[in-house]
Amino acid sequence: MIQRISNPITELSPNANVQSKPKISPGEAQAKFASALKNAINNVNEVQAISDEKTEAMAKGDITDLHDVMIASQKSSIALEATVQVQSKAVEAYKEMMSMQV
């Protein structure tokens, strides 16, 4: 009876089935984080460029599909708003960490 109870407990312990993850240096972590942020900003820039191109083409009369232009415009707007919100939260978290006493 005791053996059956202790077995699930050891299975739930934090070190029970943890696969060893490769350790990375703080510099590598920083580089990965910076790369992820740069890729996200580049993606937002691409979405905005596509929206600008479609809007300009519609103004010239090259595109007659208003729905396509409006969808591109909304994608661009949402992507920019999400980026601004993430930036705001990151600055807020940074300020909170800097105000912590060690």
Is 76 among the domain residues? yes
Place of tokens 């940074």: 94
pLDDT in tens, the chain (102 residues): 455 545 555 555 555 555 667 788 989 999 998 999 999 999 999 999 999 999 999 999 998 889 999 999 999 999 999 999 999 999 999 999 999 987
Is 85 among the domain residues? yes
Same domain for 52 and 71, yes or no, is no
Domain interval for residue 33: 25-62
Same domain for 67 and 53, yes or no, is no
Is 88 among the domain residues? yes
Dihedral sign (CA 67, 72, 75, 78): negative
Is 9 among the domain residues? no
End-to-end Cα spacing for the chain: 47
pLDDT, residue 19, reads 62
3-state secondary structure (DSSP) of residue 89: helix
Same domain for 96 and 69, yes or no, is yes
- What is the tally of structural domains in the chain? 2
Long-range CB pairs of 69-77, under 8 A, 24+ apart, other chains included? 72/47, 75/47, 75/51, 76/47, 76/48, 76/50, 76/51
Q: What is the pTM of this model?
A: 0.67
